Amino acid sequence: MTIKTIIFDFGGVLTNSPIEGFKKLEKTYGYSKGLITGINMNNPNNNAWAKSERGEIDIDTFLYQFEQEALEIGHKIDAKEILMQLYGSLRPNMTEKIISLSKLNKYKLICLTNVLKGINIFMPKEREETVNNVMSYFDKIYESYKIGMRKPESKIYEYLIEDLGIIPKETVFLDDLGMNLKTAKQLGINTIKVIDPDDAIKELDYLLNN
């Protein structure tokens, strides 16, 4: 088996996981453990988060609807604070790996990421240049809200396969969420779950060299 295409998620792979930020907020405000993630798991295909990631609502509508969803389960939450947790620190080892892979001119490097429509207005300016630099090493970037579909929907992977003209068994996908990897794997794509980035890089290297 020869890997020709490597697909990277962004948040939780190239950066520290937003879930760690959610946990800190929950601790700071005394929310029950897993509350924020739990809100996103209620009506997961049609809640505010899902609709925003598919580009169906703007950021102001998202903020309102997300806060309403929190109120429905008895919590008053500032949605803007939640969004700030999405800006985890970039992982130098992952960044360096992508740069080194790009220099080989051997692999098609793709970024596939779920992004809330309009969230860029909250991105710290000092972060923007750093992120843009890392993104410049990818051959193509797919942001969910721009194409109207999101992970883990099977159609987003089917779209990539057709758009890139890739063969699933010659492709590997790195993501930190098992549900996103499960759908890709069902389509024949090799998958790596990113928990510890160093371990994920070792697993990637093994796959590329065997």
- pLDDT score at 46: 95
Q: CA end-to-end span of the chain, whole Å?
A: 7
We report the CATH number of the domain holding residue 98 as 3.40.50.1000
| Domain identity same for 105 and 161 | yes
The parent domain of residue 99 ranges over 5-17+88-208
| Domain identity same for 67 and 102 | no
**H-helix segments, 42-123:** 48-53, 59-72, 79-84, 92-104
| Domain identity same for 168 and 107 | yes
| Domain identity same for 121 and 185 | yes
Kindly report the number of other CB atoms within 10 A of residue 74's CB atom: 8
Assess contact for 171 and 189: CB atoms under 8 A: yes
Domain end residue (candidates: 84, 107, 137) = 84
Domain end residue (candidates: 27, 54, 84) = 84
pTM score? 0.95
| Domain identity same for 13 and 25 | no
| Domain identity same for 31 and 95 | no
- pLDDT tens across 47-60, in order? 999 999 999 999 99
Residue 75, judged by CB atoms within 10 A of its CB (0-12, 13-18, 19+), counts as middle
d(CA 111, CA 9): 6
Domain end residue (candidates: 36, 55, 84) = 84
Number of domains in the chain: 2
| Domain identity same for 106 and 204 | yes
- pLDDT tens across 29-39, in order? 888 888 898 89
| Domain identity same for 76 and 133 | no
Distance of CA 2 to the CA centre of its chain: 25
| Domain identity same for 63 and 134 | no
d(CA 9, CA 180): 10
Contacts 24+ apart (CB under 8 A), 65-73: 66/39, 69/39, 69/42, 70/39, 73/38, 73/39, 73/42
Q: Is the pLDDT of residue 151 over 90?
A: yes
